[in-house]
Every structure is written in C-alpha cells, then in structure tokens.
A = this chain, B = another copy of it.
Amino acid sequence: MRQQVEEYITSLQEQIVSAFEALDPKAPAFKRDSWTRAQGGLGQSCVFSMPADDPSGHSSILEKAGVNISIVHGTLPPAAIKQMKADHSSLPYDPDAQTTLPFFAAGLSIVIHPRNPHAPTTHANYRYFEVTAPDDPRAVLAWWFGGGGDLTPSYLYDADAAHFHGTLKAACDAHGAAYYPALKRWCDEYFYIPHRGEARGVGGLFFDDLCDAPHARIPGSGRTADGIFAFVRALGDAFVPSYLPILARRAHTPYTPQQRRWQLVRRGRYVEFNLVYDRGTKFGLMTPGARVESILMTLPENVRWEYMCDMGGEGTEEGRLVEVLTKPREWV
C-alpha cells in the first residue's frame, strides 16, 4: 500500500499543479521545492506566489497556493500510541513499558488562495498512516486513511457551493451512500471556529481513521484496504473537477476595494482557525524537524484584522455569507 499511495499522490500532485498552470499561462509556474527530513523522509512542495517586485504587471488568478506531498517515517512516542489506540485497538500499548513504534505517513496537501474576492479559497488533504512492529517494517500493526476538502468563500455563490458539494457527493456515492452525509457532517463540525461562533467556510468532507474496522461515524464502514484506497483516489481525482470550474468562472469578476477588504478580513478568520484549532497544523508545529515553511504555506499571503469590522451586517452580500457560516446548510 505504501508504494501505491506514494505513486498516486505524486501523480495527482503533478496533475493538479498542471491544471492550475494551464488556467493562467501568463503567470509564473509553481515553484517546485524538494526537501528531505533529517529524521527520515522527503517531500515536494509546489508553491505559487507572484514575485514581490514583479515587473510584468500580470494580475495572476492565484494569489498564493501550495500543492505539497510528504512521505515521512519515524518513531511514535508512547503518548501518541496511547492516543491512537482509542481508534485502533490492534496497536499494542503498555502504560508501564515506554515502548515506541515505527510509523510511516504519506500525504498530499492542497491550499488555494485566489486573488479575486469572488473566487473561494479551497483546501484538501489526503493521507495514509501506517504503524509497524519495532523489529519488522513489513509487519503492519495498524493503518488508516484520513483526509477531506472544504470550500471557503468570501462571497457566497450558492451555485458554487452546490457544485463543490455535488461533485464530492458523486465521488462518495459511487463507493457507498453512507459516506457523503457522514463526512459532510464531520466537516461542518471540524472546520468550526468556536470563539467566532462560525464555520470556516461552506464545508465539504472530513474523515480520519478510516480502516478495515467499522468506523463509529460511518454506517456500514470497514472495507478492505483496496476498497478504501479506491474511495480515497475517487476523492483525490474529484479535486480538480470540484474546484477548477468555480475558480474559472469567478477569477475575472470585477471587484471593489471594499470587496477586497472583506476578503482580507475573512482570511483573518482562516488564519485563526489554522493556528488555533487545526490539528494538522498544531501537530506539525510540535513535530521536531518538521518543515515549518510547508506547514504554514496554508496561510494566505495578505490578511487583515479589523477591530469591530463594520462589514457583514444583515441585508448585505457579506451578511449572506456570515449567515450561512453560522447555520450550515445542505447543498445537494
């Protein structure tokens, strides 16, 4: 499975980056950075940004974007094993023996921040995790997939949210009717900012710990590894069709300085979620030897915080977004 996942995310990364590059051929190419981790592993970050002193005057569709893969291995400390055991009972854990276990993790992470306030931000992540026996890397003690994707507009276009959810739902439904409702609800719960009392965006899918044992949140789950990998591939393959048509139709919408301002304020909420609540970011920042630039690549380029921002009131276009963030909706 390791090799299959590696091959899949490597080819998906290239496919996604090419799709964005084809959409805006005058913009610079994504910058491809390969890196290795001293503690074990490697990755490739493909990141888009405009040079700060770009003389071309080209207004790129994307403002900042990253499509990153990482394939790392290392050793899980006892505290991490204890936590993972709750969802994976096959893991051995003895509170008295300070046992550590080898792990392998491979994943693809995507964050797209377009420049135009009418074009939504999107994020997706698909990952495979494996824990093996201390003495034999081929003896897999536990494995699971996790991932999902969500859409974060500054201005609400119902048709965009419906297209995004509809595409993901179709990809889910081909693998079982239980997936979409369960993963949609999980996404609404996960991408939530408690101190603001609002969702990060209009949701999408979220899941973790998907393996061959039945999953408490997903009725009828407990497929084979091949079956789950096929499901995850369906979601990964759905990324471009779920998002690119939205970006293409909103990227050139005329906008006012006020609309840009609102977009930057909304991006502040995005940063608040990622730095205060996002488990992946927190885990990454605590990991010794982690590549901080790749973890924080998710943060938008330009962001704004206003005290008591006067935008977003009832009866305004901005207010329509705020309303839907406080009351998650069914989009398909």
Residue of B nearest to A297 (CB): B307
**CB-contact partner of A258 in B53, B261, B285, B300, under 8 A:** B53
Residues of B within 8 A of A306 (CB): 49, 52, 301
Interface residues in A18-59 (C-beta closer than 8 Å to B):
31, 33, 45, 47, 49, 52-53
Interface residues in A300-325 (C-beta closer than 8 Å to B):
300-308
Residues of B within 8 A of A285 (CB): 194-195, 276
Min C-beta distance of A57 to chain B, whole Å: 15
Q: B292 near A196 (CB under 8 angstroms)?
A: yes
A interface bracket (residues with beta carbon within 8 Å of B) = 35 or more
Q: B305 near A304 (CB under 8 angstroms)?
A: no
Interface residues in A76-133 (C-beta closer than 8 Å to B):
none
A271 at the interface (CB under 8 A from B): yes
Could you tell me the distance between the alpha carbons of A66 and B305 in the complex, rounded to whole angstroms?
13
A208 at the interface (CB under 8 A from B): no
Could you tell me the distance between the alpha carbons of A303 and B272 in the complex, rounded to whole angstroms?
13
Residues of B within 8 A of A303 (CB): 271, 302-305
Could you tell me the distance between the alpha carbons of A303 and B297 in the complex, rounded to whole angstroms?
14
Residues of B within 8 A of A195 (CB): 285, 290, 292
Could you tell me the distance between the alpha carbons of A299 and B309 in the complex, rounded to whole angstroms?
13
A141 at the interface (CB under 8 A from B): no
Residue of B nearest to A33 (CB): B308
Residues of B within 8 A of A53 (CB): 257-258
Residue of B nearest to A285 (CB): B195
Residue of B nearest to A52 (CB): B261
Q: B293 near A307 (CB under 8 angstroms)?
A: yes
